[in-house]
Amino acid sequence: MPLVLPVAMTKVASIQSPSAVLPSHGYGRLCVITRRATFSASHRYWLPELTEEQNKELFGLCSLIHGHGHNYEVIVGMQGLLNSDGMVLNLSQVKQAIFSEVTSQLDFRYLNECWPEFNIDNPEGQLPTTEALVIAIWQRLITYLPLVSLRLYEQPNLWADYLGNAMETFLSIRTHFAAAHRLARPELSQTENEEIYGKCARVNGHGHNYLLNVTVKGDINPRTGMVCDLNKLQAIVQDIIIEAFDHSFLNKDVSYFATCVPTAENIALHIADLLKHPISEIGVRLHKIRLEESPNNAAEVFPDNYNLNV
């Protein structure tokens, strides 16, 4: 029997504008709010039309017969005008909608058997990947909440975003490398460099534990539920970036930075230069590079919007 939400939850209620003699409490101003929810579930990547070897080659350990599980985290983004109480929505109703339509149905469940779109015995069924699951969650919440974005974390180093654009999703992976650098322009004196870069211009350099987020975008495959081959994406980043940058002195060990100051901004741009074409060859587009130099400093690059000279 389908779940029936309370009448108050079936749509966003509008509240009468407050009287001119009363405080407005922000009435009518646009705002985006988010709500976080969690659930634990298992899944398996296996297609009956493929042989055991083909499934293993395509899905790796995710094809093992007993499946595997994750502690999922979903971030629900909603947009609307403030009501006379200073709220976009009543958060109790938001919480109940997410619970009724999503978490109560998925928590401690086997995703392949939860929702009909994940029935792979149906030729139109698809695997419950992170990308496919975030779209399925959107489709269940959009009737009740004014969604603008959904983010679903499968784990801290892997997540998917959906903005409601048909089958287009964003898949992000996170990795890291440790490297040293020195910020100095060779045509300037040491004194001049220190005036620009401060302590970062010291001749022996300094190091960081960099966090690298790589986000790709594309349409998910209607059968595999994947926007791209995750193993290939991870291998590209590992082989091209991590192997070259990890435990290096960037100014000396990466030829590009012999003539280009390795600021976080320039490192992020160079990573985008290096990854854009190889990533396109696996059928998706590089959407964003985020490089976190420290908890206080990060640089982001959106290749589709900038001239990366590639």
Smallest CA-to-CA distance from 211 within 301, 304, 299, 279 is with: 299
Query: Hey, how many other C-beta atoms are within 10 angstroms of the C-beta on 139?
Result: 13
Catalytic residue (one of 73, 114, 168, 200)? 200
Is the distance from CB of 219 to CB of 227 less than 8 angstroms?
A: yes
Give 97's contacts (C-beta < 8 A, 6+ positions apart).
5, 9, 141, 144, 145
Please answer whether residues 179 and 249 qualify as being in contact, where contact means their C-beta atoms are separated by less than 8 angstroms.
yes
Kindly state the tokens that stand for 104. Answer: 């109560």
Closest of 231, 178, 1, 35 to residue 105, by C-alpha: 1
Residue 247 among the catalytic residues: yes
Q: Is 63:56 a contact under the CB 8 Å cutoff?
A: yes
Residue 239: count other Cβ atoms within 10 Å of its Cβ: 11
Catalytic residue check, 270: no
Question: Which residue has tokens 């296996």?
Answer: 46
Active-site residue flag, 31: no
Rounded CA separation 271/278 (Å) = 12
Residues with catalytic roles: 200, 247, 293
